Every structure is written in structure tokens, then in C-alpha cells.
Structure 1
Amino acid sequence: MSQPQHLRSDYRHFQPITTRWHDNDVYGHVNNVTYYSFFDSAVNTYLIEVGGLDIHNGAVVGFVVSSSCDYFASIAFPERIEIGLRVGKLGNSSVQYELAVFKEGEDEACAAGRFVHVFVDRSSNRPLSIPETLRAALTLLLIEPAI
């Protein structure tokens, strides 16, 4: 069974990332667990810069409750990559991000993944409705549901 193609044009926002020397494993490519760090960095950069998330003193925290990644082609230091970001589902207190790793300038993804954030109150760790400024930023990334 072939993997679905993930194209640059399918994503709403791109976060550039420079791979680092220690990202490579003994096989000479970026280790699989590092992709999750790329995803986390891309999402949180967007939430801070576009959504106004205050990671140090804000009342709202996003907890990752689910994640996955599929790999199609390897990347290695010193390649420059871009993480494509879109929102597949936007609920009351949760959001499902869909992400893809692209080599700089390439149209087909090397990897694609997803993760789910549940937004909670920092003091109680209880879910809460996504604040309006974050919801507005996430709505910009929302893809149309398949018919």
C-alpha cells in the first residue's frame, strides 16, 4: 500500500528549522524522535507569535495528549527544513494539528504527523475552552473537511 502524498500546497503555515549536528543518529540521518521536537517547536512558535500564548505566565497551557508520525524519506544535518502546519480539527478545548517535514524548496514531504493539544487551566490542569485569541490563530490554519 502506498503512502498518501503530502504536498507543500496542502499546508497553511511554514516554520523554518535548521537541523543540528546532534539530531543525526548513528545511521547518519535525523533520528525519528527528533521529528516530534520539530513539530512541538513549530506549533508552539506559531501559538506564541500569532496566537499570543504566554508560555511563562499565562493562565492557559496546551498539553499534548496524542501524537504520531509517518516517515517517507530521510533528512540529515546540515539540511534546512520547513515544518508545514495546518489544523485538521478544532474543538472546544482541543485542537488536532497536522504537520509535515519538507526539505527547503521541495514540494513533497519527508514525513507527516499529527498531534493533539488539550488546553487546560495552568493552576488546576482542567480543560477549558480555547481562548479567543488562540482560537482565531488556529482558525487561520483550519483545513476544509473532506466531503
Structure 2
Amino acid sequence: MSYPVLWPMPTRWADNDQYGHVNNVTYYSYFDTAVNAWLMRATGTDITALPAIGVVAQTSCRFHGSVSFPDELRVGLRIARLGTSSITYDLAIFRTGAEGLELAATGEFVHVYVDAETRKPVAIPDVVRTAAAELVTE
């Protein structure tokens, strides 16, 4: 799998559950953090201050391997679909190991852009669309 962005994501002590591995719900937090941090860096903008905001309409995650603190992770980002008002991200979580990157999870994350005040769907802001276009895979 090829991902144009591999966003660094350290695990935290609090991420481990009583079974000694990162709890499944935390993977969604990694996805959310990587997508929004990448958006802020790629656009050079505070995305929370735009007149349109991306709200998460759908997520999914498939687990392939376990991770735990203090693993260093990379979240792979690519865009499967760039629509008029939505972006579908294909995501992967990789654990950095002695032999390179080891796949731990894959997922999907859909942002739908809505007006910040009315919450009605609107077009993806130009600054976001320009950045996102660079991650579109076909």
C-alpha cells in the first residue's frame, strides 16, 4: 500500500488498556489527529477558523496487528474520493519496527464540509481542496 503522507503518531501511556495494548477506540483518535494535523500543515491555515468545517460522517477500522506504548506509529493518508462537499480518506496505521513499517490497522474516514454556523453541507473550501487534491489516488 502506498500513502503519500506518513504522519508521525507517538503512542501515549494512557493509550494502553488493561490488556497491555492500545485500545481499539484510540485508533480512531489517531486517524482524526493525523487528518486534521495534516490539513493544518498542508493548508497553512487554522481549519477551525474557516467558514466551512469538516465533520466526520463515517469512519471504519480494520485491525491487522497490535500496538502498545511506547510504539512509534505512522498514520498513512491518501484520498480515495474528493467530492463537492466531502472527502474520503483511506488511512493506515503502521508500527515502526526493526524491519520497517508493520501494518497495524486500515480505515476510512469521511469528512463532510458544512457551514460553521448553519451546519448545512457546502462546498469544500478552496484551500482544503487544493491540499487534498495532492493526496488523491486512483
Equivalent residues of 2:39, 2:47 under 8 A apart: no
Mark the runs of 5 or more structure 1 residues left unpaired by the alignment. 1-6
Mapped contact 2:47–2:53 kept (Cα < 8 A): yes
Closer, same or farther: CA 78–108 of 1 in aligned 2, 3 Å: closer
- Contact 1:52/1:134 (<8 A) preserved: no
CA deviation string 1:2-56 (max 9, x = no partner):
xxxxx3xx11101101100010011110000000000000000011111244244
- For structure 2, the residue ranges without an aligned partner over 5 or more in a row are none
TM-score normalised per structure 1: 0.88
Identify which of 19, 25, 39 aligns with 1:33: 25
Give 2:36's match in structure 1, choosing from 44, 53, 59. 44
Q: Contact (CA 8 Å) 2:76, 2:93: kept in 1 or not?
A: yes
- Whole-angstrom distance in 2 between the partners of 1:103 and 1:122: 35
The equivalences for 1:1-147 within 5 A come to 7=1, 10-104=2-96, 106-144=100-138
- Counterpart amino acid of residue 96 in structure 1: T
Q: Is the 8 A contact 1:87 1:98 kept in 2?
A: yes
**How many aligned residue pairs are there?**
136
Q: How far off is 1:132 after superposition?
A: 1.4
CA distance in 2 between counterparts of 1:140 and 1:56 reads 21
**1:61-94 CA distance string (max 9 Å, x none):** 1100000000011000001000000000110000
Give the partner amino acid of 2:58: S
Counterpart code for 1:31: N
Matched with 1:3 is none
Q: Kindly indicate which of the two structures has a greater share of residues assigned to strand.
A: 2
Measure, in 2, the Cα distance between the counterparts of 1:113 and 1:95: 14
User: In the superposition, relative to structure 1, how do residues 45 and 23 fare at CA in structure 2: closer, same or farther (>3 Å)?
Assistant: same
Question: Contact between 1:53 and 1:134, CA under 8 Å: does it hold in 2?
Answer: no
Tell me the percent identity: 46
**What's the secondary structure of 2:103's corresponding residue?**
coil
